[in-house]
Amino acid sequence: MFDVAHRRVFGFRSWVRDRHYRAGYRLAQWRRAWRYAIGRLSADDAQRMMLDCRDPAGWHPLLVLTVEDTLEQALEELADHPELPHLIAAGCARVGVKWESNDDQLWEARRWAISLAREYAADEGITLTALDDGIESAS
């Protein structure tokens, strides 16, 4: 008798936990949707929305070009500059639209984004310094 009652209570607790989790997940989705609608979507929210849409859209990317990773790679060869994140983001946006894949795809995409960031810096009169030789690389 005790086992039957225990199993039912355990089953009910599992059901409540599941419903609580699903309700929290749905509430988070509604919050992201609201922030999207009012134009205040954070980068984390946007990434979460992309992940949520992958399966319904049938989109399963194997390589993802991110500003964070490209900036990290750029900082291996360029000195840090306050405008560098903005320039790298612009470069990644352009590469994301224009990219045609081949062998070492992700590394090449980041290299192209960094190259575009250098061009954008030169256009805006910003001096970026290469780390390996200290020579100006914005030109």
Residue 104 tokens, joined: 């070492």
Domain identity same for 84 and 46: no
The tens digit of pLDDT for each residue in 7-29 reads 777 788 888 888 888 898 899 98
For residue 50, being part of any structural domain is answered with yes
Indicate whether 79 and 52 sit together in one domain. no
How many structural domains comprise the chain? 2
Helix pair 67-74, 105-123: axis angle to 10 deg: 70
Q: Is residue 134 a part of any domain in this protein?
A: no
In the chain, pLDDT over 70 holds for what percent of residues? 90
pTM recorded for the entire structure: 0.52
Let me know whether 52 and 72 are in one domain.
no
Answer with the one of 12, 31, 57 that is the final residue of a domain.
57
